[in-house]
Amino acid sequence: MIDSTAVSIAAAVSSRKTSARETIDALYPYVESSDKTVGSYLSLTHEIARAHADRVDARVKAGESLPLAGVPIAVKDNMCLTGTVTTCGSKILEHWTSPYTGTAVARLLDAGAIPVGKTNMDEFAMGSSCENSALGVTRNPYDLGRVPGGSSGGSAAAVAARQAALSLGSDTGGSIREPAAFCNVVGFKPTYGRVSRYGLIAFASSLDQIGPFARTVEDAALCYDVMGGFDPMDATSVDRPLESTATHLRTDLRGVRVGIVKEFATGELGAQIDAVYKKAYADLEALGATLVEVALPTAEFGIATYYLIAPAECSANLARFDGVRYGLRVDGINVQEMYEKTRAAGFGAEVKRRILIGTYALSSGYYDAYYVKAQKARTLIASDFAKAFESCDVIASPAASTPAFAFNAKSDPYAMYLMDYYTIPGSLAGLPSLSVPCGWVTPEGGSRPMPMGLQLSTPLFAERSLLGIAHAYERATLHADVHALPEIASV
């Protein structure tokens, strides 16, 4: 079990109080036993981890300074790491071994992080509960009867359950922030283009962004500082200098204007939840911030817009899974039948639904009415944010409208889509945004208090500002520590 933060592990390994190898060897027995109940991981990468830990120890011994020396990290299973089975939570890639390593993962490993394993996710990152995984069930460590959120549910659960100090998720419409809120951890989606997508198996290319889960904002900042920045292998990565964030965390919010979104009033979310957010906003104010009301009049079109653009892109992105070169193949009498059988057997219901929606939205005669209109709405939403940021430095809102829900509670796809109501508008605008623990509520029918997340969003590329504000809030409130992690595994 890892109770230490990434920062303290890196310090201990760097000063050779312990080694990367000792850290990882001590961790695996706990991961193996606890994961029988939590199910964060789809695969563990013992051999790669041990070999890499030895290399890290050798580099530390040789005097190299590694910012993430020996830090165990879990990687969402839609990110390529050479020699690991990389499934995207899908039967179509169930046995596919990645032949290369993506940029973000490579940078973290080069900085000393140790890959513990690959984490469960909604198939192709499509979902908000991890229930769409074709390959396993992940449970919320705070209540095993509840979902961890999604799509990066495994990565959120792994950090929450102390099975890794850090983990990587990918966020397309809220897939880092919502599970972070559900699992009592920090989840951070950087500005679109800040972290290379090379090696991230695409869901919706114009929205996908890799980001960290951590138990503190400082750890998330450290991870981001290492993996962010321009990558010549990703044409959409932004070629502008990365400002270090971990060195600029702040402890008060004097002079910060916090925007509270008029359209995101929490009164209808129930008294308990309303109280959590009222308190969160008051805490921000108590730290010296000024609260200002801002308007995002087009935010209500976020879900409709998102569910045209993301499926349209995914309908093309997922076309490569055809049984020809890799992954599942179900034979047919000709190539057409092979395609059909392979894709019918390989993709789950939600993936098929989105491919169909996207194919339809791009079809001749419908393109202007759906795809083009959605792009226009996206532009309007982004300009609403830009306008809002004229009067505030950061926007605060719920990360999700409810705490983690029970398995099978959202059988209607649209009810599931609504889970991303607060996160999707910022995704469409490409904004940096995170969820930080902000309080607990006991859900109806639930037996335990469950965590809630405060979403903070800043203008494009204002990661330093965002993480600084979140750190000040986190250090002042320490909500994550209010309830201990339940006993989830015997070690």
Partner 1 sequence: MTAIAEVTPDVLAKYELVIGIECHVELKTASKMFCACPNEFGGEPNTKVCPVCLAMPGALPVPNKVAIQHMIRAGLAFEAEIPLFSKFDRKNYFYPDMPKNYQITQFDMPLTQGGVVEFWLDDGTRGSCRLTRIHLEEDTGKSSHAGSGDGRIAGSSYSLIDFNRAGVPLMECVGEPDLRSADEAVAFLESLKRTFVQLGVSDVKMEEGSLRCDANVSVRLKGATEYGTKAEIKNMNSFRSVHRAIESEFARQVGVIERGGRVVQETRGWDETTGTSVSMRSKEQAHDYRYFPEPDLVPVELEAAHIAALKAALPPSPAVRHRRYVESYGFTVAQATQLVDNVRLAEYFDRTVALTNAPQAVMNFVLGDLSRLANETETHVADAKITPDALAELIVMLEAKTINSKIAKDVIVKLWNEGGSAKAIVEKDGLAQVSDPSAVAGFVDEVLAANAKSVEDFKAGKENALKFLVGAVMKVSRGKANPVLVEQALRDRM
- Which among 117, 115, 92, 140 has a CA at the least distance from the CA of 41? 117
Tell whether residue 312 is a contact of partner 1 (CB under 8 A): yes
Element holding 218 (H helix, E strand): helix 217-227
Rounded to whole angstroms, the Cα distance separating 76 from 138 reads: 13
Tokens 């230490």: give the residue: 4
User: What's the chain's Rg over C-alpha atoms?
Assistant: 21
Q: Does 205 bind partner 1 (CB under 8 A)?
A: yes
User: Does 491 engage in binding with partner 1 (CB under 8 A)?
Assistant: no
139 or 378: CB nearest partner 1: 378
Among 40, 45, 86, 184, contact with partner 1 (rule: CB under 8 A):
86
Which one of the listed residues 151, 152, 167, 397 is annotated catalytic?
Answer: 151
Annotated catalytic residue within 4, 175, 427, 435 = 175
Residue 452: partners with Cβ closer than 8 Å, 6 or more residues away: 181, 273, 276, 277, 398, 399, 400, 403, 437, 438, 439, 440, 441
The C-alpha atoms of residue 359 and residue 397 are separated, in whole angstroms, by 33
| Residue (98 or 465) nearer to partner 1, CB | 98
Nearest residue (CB) to partner 1, 100 versus 282: 100
Catalytic residue (one of 40, 76, 98, 237) = 76
The answer to the question of residue 325 lying near partner 1 (CB under 8 A) is yes
Interface with partner 1 in residues 9-48 (CB under 8 A): none
The closest alpha carbon to 155, from 196, 183, 189, belongs to 183
The nearer residue to partner 1, 28 or 326, going by C-beta atoms, is 326
63 contacts: CB under 8 Å, gap ≥ 6: none
Strands 433-441 and 394-398 turn out to be unpaired
Residue (of 298, 308, 297) closest to 369 by Cα position:
308
- Using rule CB under 8 A, residue 461 touches partner 1: no
Query: Residues 69, 202, 256, 299: which binds partner 1 (CB under 8 A)?
Result: 202
Nearer to partner 1, 98 or 151 (CB): 98
Stretch that binds partner 1, among 108-116, 133-141, 316-324, 382-390 (CB under 8 A): 316-324
Q: How far is the CB of 43 from partner 1 (least distance, A)?
A: 16
| Residue range at the interface with partner 1 (CB under 8 A); choices 60-68, 76-84, 143-151, 218-226 | 76-84
Report in angstroms how near the CB of residue 67 gets to partner 1 at its nearest.
Answer: 25
Cβ-based burial of 58 (10 A; exposed 0-12, middle 13-18, buried ≥19): exposed
339 binds partner 1 (CB under 8 A): yes
Dist. CA 201–CA 170, nearest whole Å: 10
Among 236, 244, 272, 379, binds partner 1 (CB under 8 A): 236
Of the pair 28, 230, the CB lying nearest partner 1 is at 230
Q: Is 76 a catalytic residue?
A: yes
In the bound complex, what is the minimum distance in angstroms from residue 365's beta carbon to partner 1?
9
Determine the size of the site formed for partner 1 (CB under 8 A): 44
DSSP string, 33-66: HHHHHH--EEEE-HHHHHHHHHHHHHHHHTT---
- To the query of whether residue 315 is one of the catalytic residues in this protein, the response is no
Rule CB under 8 A: say whether 93 interacts with partner 1: yes
Q: How far is CA 133 from CA 87, 109, 120, 147, 232, in A?
A: 10, 26, 7, 12, 32
CB nearer partner 1, residue 172 or residue 465: 172
Among 78, 129, 167, 427, binds partner 1 (CB under 8 A): 78
Active site (annotated) includes residue 175: yes
Which DSSP category does 369 fall into?
I
Phi and psi angles of residue 72, each rounded to the nearest 5 degrees, phi first: -70, 130
State the catalytic residues.
Answer: 76, 151, 175
Q: Which residues bind partner 1 (CB under 8 A)?
A: 78-80, 86, 88, 93, 96, 98-100, 102, 197-202, 204-206, 232-236, 312-313, 315-316, 319-322, 324-326, 335, 339, 359, 362-364, 367, 371
